[in-house]
Homo-oligomer: A and B are copies of this chain.
Amino acid sequence: MTIQSREQCEQLDREDALAHLKQEFALPEGVIYLDGNSLGARPKAAASRAAEVIQQEWGTDLITSWNKAGWFDLPSRLGNLLSPLIGAEANEVVVTDTTSGNLFKALAAALHMQAGDDQRKVIITERSNFPTDIYMAEGLTGWLQRGYRIHLIDSPEELSTAINAETAVVMLTHVNYRTGYLHDMQTVTALAHQHGALMLWDLAHSAGAVPVNLNAANADFAVGCTYKYLNGGPGSPAFIWVPARHQAKFRHPLSGWWGHASPFAMSPHFEHQPTIRAALCGTQPIVSLALVECGLEIFAKTDMQALRKKSLALTDLFIALVEQRCAGFGLELVTPRDHVQRGSQVSLHHPHAYALIQALIARGVVGDYREPGILRFGFTPLYVGFADVWDAAEHLRDLLASQSYDLNLKRNAVT
């Protein structure tokens, strides 16, 4: 169906079985929020949950809350709530620390598992990967000083030739933060395994955005973020997945007391515990951690198949509207057109991308800018509707047609 009018979009919204989920979120009036891939919107429940943790659990119950309110167990409990979204089994995920920190642990563990083979010294990743993943790999391998090399490929097509008997680990972000390109998890994992390499996935732009089945793909390790599509709150702790089959041999250098086999025995030597809790290190930020549950509770009201169907309908619509109604203004589609290669975002290139994003934000259409020259729009089916997509595209068309954006505006240091 070709969409020609806002009325048709409104009709799609009326027919949308997920439309009621928007009520779970506290979004400001008049804002079309297409930046849930950077910071997810606030679940309404987050305010009362924070008040409960702060007033009752911290203020009144004080130290007893480590047991009584389950604070100590929270990383595991949240991990188990998150598991179904990524195809993990129970007791394979904890929510803890940062994505960067968790990637360090997973990569270290993977290299440790490969240490018996002196020929396997190469970590393969993409130059276009989110930079912190590459930085953490540089940090780890630079310090180990054992001849590890990071091989940056420039296109997913290179994977089939790049992976070989020298590859220790293939470390990829499932959905690219900039382009929205979606890797085929099953195929790439199988390719890595075929050559004896281990497969580490960063799900920062996948968890809650696209269906993921880590165990079906037989992946080796995964990490990801809870503050984007999972709506856990600003900078909410990240997650790490270690499949049951690898837990006994999961070793990393961040061996803090929360990962100890008997954390409260206060023994002066570290003792590994063969569970997912070996991925824990220090004491967790409980208030931020507790809010992750509010986002996960909303996912429990639907499923990733339904969300994926709507996500593709939204991104299809946006691409179509941009191509039909914003043609001739220099926009280029960066995100793959093919569904099997597309995450839950649409990225467009334009020479004045930064100025355009600022002008859109001023009109209440919140997307973001990414270097170089990318307008990035995240489509979160939990709270974005079809009329929102129409309106966003119309604002973009109007800005381009009227040239009512600041041609001289340059990106400042921090945005």
Contact = CB atoms under 8 A, between A and B. Distances in A.
Interface of A: 26-28, 31, 33, 35, 38-39, 41-42, 46-47, 50-51, 53-55, 57-60, 62-67, 71-72, 97-101, 104, 108, 127, 129-132, 134-136, 138-140, 142-144, 152, 178, 225, 227, 233-238, 252-258, 260, 262-270, 281-289, 291, 361, 366, 368, 370-371, 413-415
A264 B371 contact: yes
Contact of A72 (B50, B264, B414): B414
A406 B51 CA distance: 36
A378 B329 CA distance: 67
Contacts of A265: 371
Contacts of A366: 62-63
Contacts of A267: 131
B282 A99 contact: yes
A289 B283 contact: no
A282 B101 contact: yes
B285 A143 contact: no
A276 B106 CA distance: 27
A70 B39 CA distance: 15
Contacts of A371: 264-266
A406 to B, nearest CB: 18
19 contacts: A26-B59, A35-B63, A46-B54, A57-B234, A58-B233, A66-B414, A98-B281, A100-B256, A101-B101, A101-B256, A131-B268, A136-B255, A140-B253, A143-B253, A233-B287, A234-B285, A234-B286, A285-B288, A287-B288
Tell me the number of copies of this protein: 2
Contact of A233 (B28, B42, B54, B235): B54
Contacts of A97: 97-98, 101, 282
A254 B139 contact: yes
Given A144-B143, A254-B136, A58 B35 contact: no
A253 B140 CA distance: 5
CB-based closest 6 A-B pairs: A98-B282, A285-B288, A100-B282, A100-B256, A139-B255, A132-B257
A54 B48 CA distance: 10
Contact of A255 (B26, B41, B138, B258): B138
Given A235-B284, A285-B236, A138 B51 contact: no
Among A97, A135, A258, A291, which residue has the most Cβ atoms of chain B within 10 A? A135
Given A47-B54, A143-B108, A287-B233, A266 B370 contact: yes
Nearest to A255: B139
Given A42-B59, A414-B67, A414-B72, A253 B287 contact: no
B268 A414 contact: no
Contact of A55 (B26, B99, B237): B26
A282 B41 CA distance: 20
Nearest to A38: B63
Contact of A98 (B59, B256, B287, B361): B256
